[in-house]
Each structure stands twice: as C-alpha cells, then as structure tokens.
Structure 1
C-alpha cells in the first residue's frame, strides 16, 4: 500500500509548479482541475481545484486553515538539495532547517502557496551531518 494524498488548491497549475520546483518531482497528468505529482515513478501528491465538481468531499474553501491537523510529510535522500530548492523558489519557511534528534533526521517545515504545512525530512541518521 502507498499513500497518495489529495489536497484542494486554488490554482492547480501554480501549485504544481511550486511542488515540482521545491520537491524536485514532476507532473504526470496536468490540467487546470487536477494534477498528479510523481517522484521516481510513484505518485506522491494529487492536486485538485477547489471548485472543480469531481468530488463531493473535497471540502469547503472558506474553512481555514487548510489541512488543519494534517502535515504533508516528504522524505528525501537529498535534504540539502531540497533546502536549496526551497530557498531558490522563495518558499515560506515555518521552521528549520533543523535537527530532530528524536527522529534522527533533519527537517524543513514550509507553507505551500495555499497555506498547507509541508515538511521535508532527510534520511534516518542524518542528524549532525
């Protein structure tokens, strides 16, 4: 089994560009209503436009903050590259980069353009590198 989270966004194409630039992934579907983002041939995230009427349970765009209680957590072998990509693309940093000694890795906490919390974590044992 593999998780394939879907989030609702105001602008699918803009969100897709942001995630591709920051995470180093690529789009596999494209379009103004829906996008699939993949890394190494696996879907890691789906984007759905708030007002596209394909799913009845996407949520209400008037209720904020989006994703309250949910973190979009991405693990990468190339943590330093991810930090550099986030900085180069002007990503809003919420916290970090920092060491999480409990998890034994480094983390960078961001807000995406819609306000979702995105965490990029390095590999286990990455602390103190």
Structure 2
C-alpha cells in the first residue's frame, strides 16, 4: 500500500452465544452502565449492548437460526481460550456494579505491571471470562 493510501477503519464487534439473551443482556448492561436497551421482537434470540452509542458486544442465543458455530452449547467450555476484555474509564464503578450483580470474581482488582492499569477478572452468567481494565498507564508512578 502506498504511503498516501487511506487506511480503513476497523472496529471490533464481538458476538458470543449465550443460553439466555435477555438475562445476559441485562447482566452486561448493568455491569457497564450501558445505554438503554430498546425492546424489539428478536430480543430473545439476539441483542446488542452499546455504551455511549458505540457497539460493545453482541449476544446470540445458542441453537437459533442455524448460524455456524452457534450450536450445541455443551460441545465445549464457553469461550475456551477467549477473554472478553474491556477498557473502561470508570473502573471503580464497574467493580462496584460487578459486586452488586454477585458476579463470580476470578481475580480481585489488581495492578497489571506491564500496562500499568487496574484489572478485575469475572465470569459472566454463561461462564465466559470477562476482564475489565482501566486505561493503560493509569497506575504509572
């Protein structure tokens, strides 16, 4: 590519398969203080979590609509080898909401020395590992 060519914009839009879209949608919305979730006719099968108007995460019901790789919830551990990693600017509030949700905490809030930020590691209702981190450099001395 030439140095004058415009680079395309890329935004991650992860989608995970869940057993109960409404329950998972509510859990993520509460954890991240997401935008209001509009009611729609497809909400038991698919939903989108947004914060400040930006898509954060998509949720899809297992075994619905014949999508490849969204079948047989019991075929493997949820998200084996995958971490859902989110950077937030209100880390303390998210930690408080996680505790209020009764989320399983895998690793309590701590400082990751390499990026110099705080992290908390959780499990969502389907067993996916969720890492919430403050901005890089936030804990630099």
TM-score by length of 1: 0.92
CA drift of 1:128 comes to 6.8
Instruction: Report whether the alignment pairs 1:50 with 2:59.
Output: no
Alignment root-mean-square deviation, CA: 1.7
Shift of 1:125: 1.9
**After superposition, where does 1:1-129 map in structure 2 within 5 Å?**
1-26=10-35, 27=37, 30=40, 31-127=43-139
TM-score normalized with structure 2 length = 0.85
- Number of aligned pairs? 129
Query: For the pair shown, which has the larger CA radius of gyration, 1 or 2?
Result: 2
Query: 1:22-79, CA deviations, whole angstroms, 9 ceiling, x for partnerless residues?
Result: 1111335651000011011111100000021251232431123110011000000110
- CA–CA separation in structure 2 for the residues paired with 1:127 and 1:48: 36
CA distance in 2, matches of 1:29, 1:48: 15
Higher strand share: 1
Shift of 1:126: 2.0
